[in-house]
Amino acid sequence: MILDHRWLSDDEINRSKDRARAKAAEQQPHRHHVVPQMYLRRWRPESGPEKKRVLRTHVDSGEAESRNPDSIEWEPDFYQMSADDIDPVATPEMWFEEHMARVENDAAWWLRKVSERRVGRLHDKKLILDLAVFIGLQSQRSRRSRQMEVNIDAAIERFGVPEVVSEPDMLQRLCLMEGVRYVPSQHEEIVRRMARKLARRTRISKAPNGAAARILNSSIQVWRGAVVPRLATSRSWWLLSTEAPLATCDEPVIYLGSKRKRNDPQAYTMDNAPLILFPIDPHHAIAIADRIRCRPSGPFELGTDDVNSTNFEVAAASLQHMFERPGSGIAETIRVPQRSHIDPSASSTFAEYVAPPPRWVSEEGPEWAFQRWIYW
């Protein structure tokens, strides 16, 4: 299901492709930011010697450095869509990078607008959909999401379509993408139907060098057809404010409150997380709550304990880096376990194969932030 929103529409996607075609002959910088510069700039001081910088801290090593947002969190050609069997005219290789830049221009305004609202529940449906478009996009464009899509692509080859579709989390994801209502009593029939669809799916590329294009195309489809509708229609949205400063990180869509333990990679998914946090500046965050499993309650001006637990979750969610306003002193006070390095090819099940390893390897770990809001 694709909701009616400008940046999800085929018309705007085609315009982005046209703009990418027009720029194809130009020298491209190919510096693709996995965390938008306009987002990180919200952590820059308004004045002083660090005015144009944010403090970046490597969570595992503790190494910290003030940097310009333009110079951090980028990968060369990360959003390039090309392969031997992809027509570069029909599918310009940089069209999605162009499309995201256009979304970000609007998103800068959306974030300013929401940060000026009163704290508590948001009721403006248009603004919620706007934010769902941006936050949903960030959830799919990150390094963690890319690694999951890489693993899914490889796992399909290893385990085969029937076993992949039989996985509950994957089946739910496919049902969302295909607009199919999941009915437990019809589980086996839905598995067979989704297996047929997956086996017959049109892939943007079948070439050996087309994995990146396949993965990126899948992320785009999940963003448009599953993530944004899920965020906008099945969750309530809340604005939180703080006096003490908040940090953010290289994976700023933060999944909290799962019934699963912190050492379960599947705990860190939209379907399993009753609460999603997204910091929007040093003194505001968005809470996106499952309407059944999570009921936020005031005060929504967070005190010191909630700010500290939120910043801990930011550190725990990061792949490598935390970001804060220089002088905040947040990262230097937080310690989280290092992520384990697990070779997915050694996994025995699809679920183990797909998700990047979490920071916890045993069931022990601190209570989720805002656990008082969670109802399982």
Tell me the range of 156-160, 194-198, 206-210, 310-314 where mean pLDDT is highest: 310-314
pLDDT in tens, 36-88: 999 999 999 988 888 899 999 999 999 999 999 999 999 999 999 999 999 99
* Local confidence band at 160 (pLDDT 50, 70, 90 cut-offs): confident
pLDDT in tens, 1-12: 789 999 999 999
* 334-353: average pLDDT: 76
Angstrom distance (rounded) from CA 238 to CA 119: 7
State how beta strands 74-76 and 235-242 pair: unpaired
pTM (two decimals) = 0.90
**Cβ burial 79-101 (10 Å sphere, 16+ → b, else e):** bbbbbeebeeeebbbbbbbbbbb
Task: Please tell me the predicted confidence (pLDDT) of residue 28.
Answer: 63
Task: Please tell me the predicted confidence (pLDDT) of residue 295.
Answer: 95
Task: Please tell me the predicted confidence (pLDDT) of residue 159.
Answer: 76
pLDDT > 80? residue 163: no
308, 229 contact by CB (below 8 A): no
pLDDT > 80? residue 215: yes
Task: Please tell me the predicted confidence (pLDDT) of residue 107.
Answer: 98
* Local confidence band at 178 (pLDDT 50, 70, 90 cut-offs): low
The strand order across the sheet containing 321-324 reads 64-67, 54-58, 321-324, 248-249
9, 83 contact by CB (below 8 A): no
Question: Other C-beta atoms within 10 Å of 313: how many?
Answer: 22
**354 half-sphere exposure, CB direction, 13 A CA radius:** 23
Q: How far apart are the first and last CA of the chain?
A: 27
Task: Please tell me the predicted confidence (pLDDT) of residue 184.
Answer: 77
255, 270 contact by CB (below 8 A): yes
pLDDT > 80? residue 341: no
pLDDT in tens, 98-118: 999 999 999 999 999 999 999
* 347-376: average pLDDT: 82
